[in-house]
C-alpha cells in the first residue's frame, strides 16, 4: 500500500465515521476494504455526492493526490462537522 493510499484510507475512515459507520465498518475502511466496498458502505450511510464522487474516482481519472485533497477538503468543511452536543438539554 502506497503512502498516498494510506492517507486516502485515513480520510475515508474519518468520512465513514462521521456518517455514523459502525466500528467494524470504519476499521474495514482503513484495513483494506475495496474501493467498491467503501463506496457501497458510504452510499448506504447516506454520503453526499461529493464523497461518493471522490471514492468513485479513486484509482481512476484524477491522480490519487487529487482524490486525497478532495477528501481532506470534504472532511475539513464546517458543514461536515457534527454540531456539538448540548449539555443538559
Query: How confident is the prediction along the chain (89 residues), in pLDDT tens digits per residue?
Result: 789 999 999 999 999 999 998 888 888 888 888 999 999 999 999 999 999 999 999 988 778 999 999 999 999 987 654 544 444 44
Angle, CA 41 vertex, CA 49 and CA 84 arms, to 5°:
70
Position 30 in a domain? yes
Position 86 in a domain? no
3-class DSSP state for residue 40?
helix
| pLDDT number for residue 66 | 93
Position 28 in a domain? yes
| pLDDT number for residue 89 | 41
| pLDDT number for residue 86 | 47
Reading the block at residue 88, the C-alpha cell is 443538559
Position 26 in a domain? yes
Range of the domain at 49: 3-78
| pLDDT number for residue 25 | 86
Number of domains into which the chain is organized: 1
Amino acid at each position: 500500500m502506497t503512502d498516498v493510499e494510506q492517507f486516502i484510507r485515513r480520510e475515508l475512515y474519518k468520512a465513514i465515521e462521521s456518517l455514523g459507520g459502525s466500528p467494524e465498518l470504519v476499521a474495514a475502511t482503513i484495513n483494506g476494504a475495496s474501493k467498491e466496498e467503501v463506496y457501497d458502505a458510504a452510499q448506504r450511510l447516506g454520503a453526499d455526492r461529493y464523497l461518493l464522487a471522490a471514492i468513485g474516482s479513486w484509482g481512476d481519472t484524477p491522480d490519487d493526490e487529487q482524490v486525497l485533497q478532495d477528501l481532506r477538503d470534504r472532511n475539513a468543511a464546517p458543514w461536515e462537522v457534527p454540531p456539538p452536543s448540548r449539555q443538559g438539554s
